[in-house]
A = this chain, B = another copy of it.
Amino acid sequence: MTDIPPRPRLRLFVEVPLSAGVAVALEREQTHYLSSVMRAEPGETVLLFNGTDGEWLARIDRLGRSGGILIPEQMVRPQSAEPEPRFDPWLLAAPLKRDRTDLVAEKVAELGATLFWPVFTRRTVAHRVNGDRLRARMIEAAEQCERLTLPLLNEAAPLERILAGWPEGRTLLFLDETGGGEPLAGLAAGWVEGPVALLIGPEGGFAPEERALLVSRLFVRPVGLGPRILRAETATIAALALWQALAGDGARPPRG
């Protein structure tokens, strides 16, 4: 009989291997989060994951100013519980104003994309992207939504450069707010074979020359999400959720 304790209230991503009895030293910020924010104490049980070794129950061994030590005790979910998604979606999006780019990064992790790639376009208002902050936000979202993996974060690049180096075999679906695209639902339900990336433009949409460049490529297809003009972050969530529900892992239950 396996004896599984009640589900811990805390779940952390760590960047070290996980195996039974091998101590994990927390980073400074995680130590602060556990002790000062969450008021955890030595002896409390925490869930740990690192993207490759599954999910572990770990006990807090030490927690103080000098740092924190956790001891993994029991694997509770193998890495195989999160299979490679069949069409692992990538998400490309033009950076928005600061808070809303953070929100997009969070939703990319929460909705199971495997890669987030910020794209500079003509009408992109933001000209820089803080990768460290986006990554922190994705880790936090992965911790809370019970993912076993993190999305990769590609360095922000201009649209032209991304298209020039596009990987073979991956279809790029761009949200075309001019109404020229096919409904995304149909594509997700089986009209597109193989891996995809979803591309969402900035608030002002794509410039005409960008749209022309996009549709000139054989791997690109314009898609639509219905008659209302969605804000960029809404379109991101809607497109990813739809893709997961129809072509991804949407039929699986939580903690499956």
Q: Which bucket holds chain A's interface residue count?
A: 35 or more
Q: Tell me if A185 is interfacial: C-beta within 8 Å of chain B.
A: yes
In the complex, which of the residues A184, A225, A237, A241 has the most CB atoms of chain B within 10 Å of its own CB atom?
A241
Task: Determine the main DSSP class of A at the interface with B.
Answer: loop
User: Are B251 and A183 in contact, CB atoms less than 8 angstroms apart?
Assistant: yes
Q: Tell me if A28 is interfacial: C-beta within 8 Å of chain B.
A: no
Q: Tell me if A39 is interfacial: C-beta within 8 Å of chain B.
A: no
In the complex, which of the residues A177, A230, A237, A255 has the most CB atoms of chain B within 10 Å of its own CB atom?
A237
B contact residues around A244 at 8 Å (CB): 226
B contact residues around A255 at 8 Å (CB): 179, 227
Report the copy number of this chain in the oligomer: 2
Q: Which of A82-114 contact B (CB under 8 A)?
A: 82, 107, 110-112
| Measured CA separation A161–B242 after assembly (Å) | 32
User: Are B251 and A185 in contact, CB atoms less than 8 angstroms apart?
Assistant: yes
Smallest Cβ-Cβ distance to A109: which chain B residue: B228
Please choose the segment from A53-61, A118-126, A142-150 that sits at the chain B interface, where 4 or more of its residues have CB less than 8 A away. Answer: A142-150
B contact residues around A110 at 8 Å (CB): 228, 230-231, 234
User: Are A230 and B179 in contact, CB atoms less than 8 angstroms apart?
Assistant: no
Q: Given A110-B234, A237-B238, A238-B237, are A229 and B146 neighbors across the interface (CB < 8 Å)?
A: yes
| Measured CA separation A229–B147 after assembly (Å) | 9
Binding site for B on A (CB under 8 A): 82, 107, 110-112, 144-147, 177-181, 183-186, 224-231, 234, 237-239, 241-242, 244-246, 248-256
